Chains A and B, each alone.
Chain A
Amino acid sequence: MSLVQSLLHNEPALQQRRAAQQRVREDGAALDVSALPSFGFGHRSILWWATVGLMAIESTVFALAIVAYFYLRSQSTLWPPTEAPPLWRWGTLNTVVLALSLLPNWWAKQRAEALDRRGVRIGLTLCMLCSLVFLAVRGFEFGALNCRWDSSAYGSIVWMLLGLHTLHLITDTWDSGVLTVLAFTGPFELKRYVDVSENALYWYFVVFSWLPIYAVIYAAPRAW
């Protein structure tokens, strides 16, 4: 019944599903499931659960890396020890780019849930363009950190934080790239719309997890 509640915003789908289940129930001793749909979005999909599991693990990694950052800072009288803090410029620009990428991502997710192949192609292509921009800007970010990973523990943890997040930018770009190519070439079964929709969930995660990391890398060395 919990799932029915979550479907309430989609009344026709709910009605159809209820009718399908009713037919199933009234059909004698066997539970006939042949009328059920062959995919579902959101938490009806096993992909959603897999993505949420990945997000749970990865957000714990980010959280622990941030804890390690402040732990190392608590061991030091000066922070950063000798280096200048990272330049604001590229990190802030990238935050804007990542925030803007939420728009095509949201739209691609909408189009996927409407089973609109053309919309999915356009949405994913726009997302890929955003990827190219934020990966390039990320390169400049590394160059403007004002520290090396082997200069001190401060440099190590800053590179770790930025490196971990970059790894997610790369995997997200790769995943979305594969789906973009598939959307153009096919074979594109209906369940691939679920892939696009849940991939957009991962994109949200990669963007929103950047905000605390951005704050730590750029604001914490200046804060006090």
Chain B
Amino acid sequence: MPSVMLASTALILDRLVGTHFFNPAEGGDVLLWQHLFWFFGHPEVYLIFIPGLGFLSTLIATYARRPVFGYPAMVLALIATAFLAFGLWVHHMFATPLPELGKSFFTAVSLLIAVPSAVQIFCWLVTLATGRLWFTSAMLFALAFFVILVLGGMTGLMLGMVPLDLQLHDTYFVVAHLHYVLIGGAVFPLFGAIYHWYPKFTGRLMSERLGRWHFWLFFIGFNVTFFPMHLLGMKGMPRRVYTYAEGLGWDRLNLTATLGALLLAAGVLLFVVNAWRSRRDGAPAGDDPWRAGTLEWATSSPPNAGNFVAPPVVHGIEPQWQPPRQPSQVRGLALDKREVLVTSVLDAEPDHRLVFPTPSIWPFAGALATTVLFIGSIFTPWAAVWGLVPVAVALTAWFWPKPRDTGPSVALERAP
């Protein structure tokens, strides 16, 4: 994010006030933009995955009915991915005139990312192999991840090599790769997560029969749409061009992809129908339809405001699967104030009580003022100057203690 902030600021300054960051005529450099953009852009791809990986670990543990194997290894693998992610942005720039030796370094790091990814995948596979599997719709989407993402990861290794990338750069092969990675890594787990948590936030189950139809239409439709794009790319079809001449050998594969897209769309339509209908007509879910291990299944579906009457004390990662232990709940927080418990970071030891302020209009005013500032700054640099005033006013007013909050809060205060 810092990188795209700096790059966008430089770009808009070039456009509005005549700076020369990216203007070669005055000593600027267009590749500087690419460096800054991809230094943000590649780690951002992993950022898209992270919720998906969390979904998967939850789904797999629940439907394999055992805690995820190798939890510390999974966490370390995630940290390793986050670390390596900052060292491979140049693999998006292999077609630019950079030193070849430097490119080899970025190839090496790009291939290295396969190691932590494999650690995670094998941990999940061991969990599956040693668990008792329950093939719900949510689980089907979780399992499809392995097929789709691994295929996308493999084409990623291919694209990480400079000679092959120069051949495939800006072709449909890249389009196929990124859809396998992103839809496999983010969308399949997301659908699984919706089937999994829908009963928690509505109190009703989604139809499993429609869920299966959705899954198979989506899975088959996805592959029929995007697999041919690998071949199209190798036959030289460029991406980012919406049309192509007849008779270049691309017609049949493109038609196949279009038919696949229809299947895929039909699957998503079934999902929408399922989600809409199940709101009222779905079977009542109860508190814990999947007999899952995590805390959200200990409260009602849908949960009351505040989730629990008294905050529960958690003694492990899957408290629902562990024998009850004392103490079981937190007492001593104000019931009529927004008082929360702040704990230590690693061991979650109770540390202090903190009273949050009551709702006010100021965060919304701050968001509005920020929006006006940024939209205005597209047109004039002065928007970035004068626009800061309402932002500062709104944020300060948000912060400034209100009498209705300070009175009750002072009564609860206690120095360490």
* Chains A and B are bound partners: yes
Please list the residues of chain A having a beta carbon within 8 angstroms of any beta carbon in chain B.
1-3, 13, 16-17, 21, 24-25, 28-41, 43-46, 57-58, 60-61, 64-65, 68, 71-72, 75-76, 81, 115, 149-157, 159-160, 174, 178, 182, 187, 189-192
CB <8 Å contact, A149 and B17: yes
Residues of A within 8 A of B353 (CB): 33-34, 36-38
Q: How far is the CA of A157 from the CA of B35 in the complex (A)?
A: 16
Q: How far is the CA of A59 from the CA of B374 in the complex (A)?
A: 22
Residues of B within 8 A of A24 (CB): 332, 350
CB <8 Å contact, A71 and B345: no
CB <8 Å contact, B29 and A153: yes
Q: How far is the CA of A36 from the CA of B350 in the complex (A)?
A: 8
Instruction: Indicate whether B349 reaches chain A with its CB closer than 8 angstroms.
Output: yes
Which single residue of chain B is at the shortest CB-CB distance from A63? B2
Residues of A within 8 A of B9 (CB): 160
The listed residue (B1, B27, B326) touching A154 by CB distance below 8 A is B27
| Complex interface residues of chain B between 5 and 24 (CB less than 8 A to chain A) | 5-6, 9-10, 13-14, 17-21, 23
CB <8 Å contact, B330 and A17: no
Instruction: Indicate whether B36 reaches chain A with its CB closer than 8 angstroms.
Output: yes
Answer whether A38 and B39 are a contact pair too, CB < 8 Å, given A33-B333, A154-B27.
no
Which single residue of chain B is at the shortest CB-CB distance from A6? B344
CB <8 Å contact, B332 and A71: no
Interface centre among A16, A28, A156, A178 (most CB of B within 10 A): A156
CB <8 Å contact, A189 and B410: yes
Which single residue of chain B is at the shortest CB-CB distance from A115? B415
Instruction: Indicate whether B28 reaches chain A with its CB closer than 8 angstroms.
Output: yes
Residues of B within 8 A of A159 (CB): 19
Q: How far is the CA of A189 from the CA of B56 in the complex (A)?
A: 44
Residues of A within 8 A of B21 (CB): 68, 72, 153, 156-157, 160
Interface string of B249-279 (1 = CB under 8 A from A): 0000000000000000000000000000000
Q: How far is the CA of A150 from the CA of B32 in the complex (A)?
A: 18
Q: How far is the CA of A72 from the CA of B329 in the complex (A)?
A: 59
13 examples of A-B residue contacts, CB within 8 angstroms: A3-B349, A39-B352, A40-B352, A44-B342, A44-B344, A57-B1, A64-B39, A72-B29, A150-B19, A156-B14, A157-B21, A178-B396, A189-B406
CB <8 Å contact, A30 and B2: no
CB <8 Å contact, A60 and B3: yes
Q: How far is the CA of A153 from the CA of B399 in the complex (A)?
A: 40
CB <8 Å contact, B330 and A31: yes
